[in-house]
Amino acid sequence: MINPAEAPEPTATAGRTDAAAAPEPSASRHSRLADLGPRIVSALILVAGAIATVLSGGLVFVLAWLAASLVVHFEWQRLVGGLRHILRFAPGSLAIIAAAIAANSNGSGLAILLLVLGALASASLAEEGRRVWSAVGVIYAGSLFVSLSALRLSFPFGPRAIGWLFAVVWSTDVIAYFAGRLIGGPKFMPRVSPSKTWAGTMAGLLGGAAVGSIFLLLAAHVTRLDTPAPVWVLFLLGLMTAAVAQAGDLFESWTKRRFGAKDSGSLLPGHGGLLDRLDGFIAAAAWVTILGALRGFPSPAEGLFHWM
């Protein structure tokens, strides 16, 4: 989010009055929404592509999200920097590919082990001060595919779980963006993410939880398969997931500041890199997958939605 333009100090030069010199409110609002066009185009393309992968399933889903994980890994290693960041990309990528094959065969445990081994290999190639960061990048990027694969293979709620995740994270992001720019107000964590406001953050959390709950109710109606949880539980689940997504966004913002970068890349106009677009989604996907798996049901999506 862009800070509102501040009015200049009162002057009387060139025969202009203070009122004439001060920027109009409409101009300030225009500056805050100046990047809206490129963001909308990029977001629509990403949304359409993501939905298409879930509807298509199979090889399309695997290849698309594996490619996304590899791009995130590359952007992370480049963000961390160092003398051998391209060399570090190789073992991490091999580990992510191997983990994807294992996860797609219901071998989530093996997938996690492969990611850990890849993280250690990547760290061994990094210089001091970047080893932990390099290792985190492998697990971070690999968790995107492993989490989504575990959810997709969760019968009978797999596609619903991913669709709900899309609804919560995307709504949180969009509502927070517009509320923050149009309402303004005090900053949430200015040292980490100067653009985030309290108004935008709170609106994003509540809006994401609400849209996620509505999605689940509509999905149950269309498929004739109820989501076995009360509406208030689904709303709280969405609220927690939206909060995790916001935390993931803040984590990536803090990482970029740690390494002196504005964006993780320039792949997406108005957004930066793919990592900039998926930071909150990666955190939320890992969170709901772990939560569902820990509840002892046959699949993560069942554990996520069974709260009767």
Residue 207 lies in a domain: yes
Write down the pLDDT at residue 292: 97
Residue 9 lies in a domain: no
- State the residue range of the domain holding 189: 34-305
Pairing of strands 193-197, 187-189: antiparallel
Is the Cβ–Cβ distance between 226 and 194 less than 8 Å? no
Write down the pLDDT at residue 224: 94
φ and ψ of 96, to 5 deg: -65, -40
Write down the pLDDT at residue 52: 97
Residue 220 lies in a domain: yes
The string of pLDDT tens digits covering residues 76-129 is 999 999 888 889 999 999 999 999 999 999 899 999 999 999 999 999 999 999
The DSSP code for 15 is G
Write down the pLDDT at residue 266: 75
Check whether 274 has a pLDDT greater than 90. yes
Using alpha carbons only, give the angle 267, 137, 73 rounded to the nearest 5 degrees: 35
Residue 196 lies in a domain: yes
Mean pLDDT of 129-158: 96
Residue 15 lies in a domain: no
Residue 245 lies in a domain: yes
Residue 259 lies in a domain: yes
Domain count, the chain: 1
Write down the pLDDT at residue 41: 83
The string of pLDDT tens digits covering residues 14-64 is 333 333 333 444 444 444 455 677 778 888 999 999 999 999 999 999 999
Mean pLDDT of 144-148: 98
Residue 54 lies in a domain: yes
pTM over 0.75: yes
Residue 267's pLDDT band, with cuts at 50, 70 and 90, is: confident
The DSSP code for 272 is B
DSSP string of 221-264, one letter each residue: HHHT---SS-HHHHHHHHHHHHHHHHHHHHHHHHHHHHTT-S-S
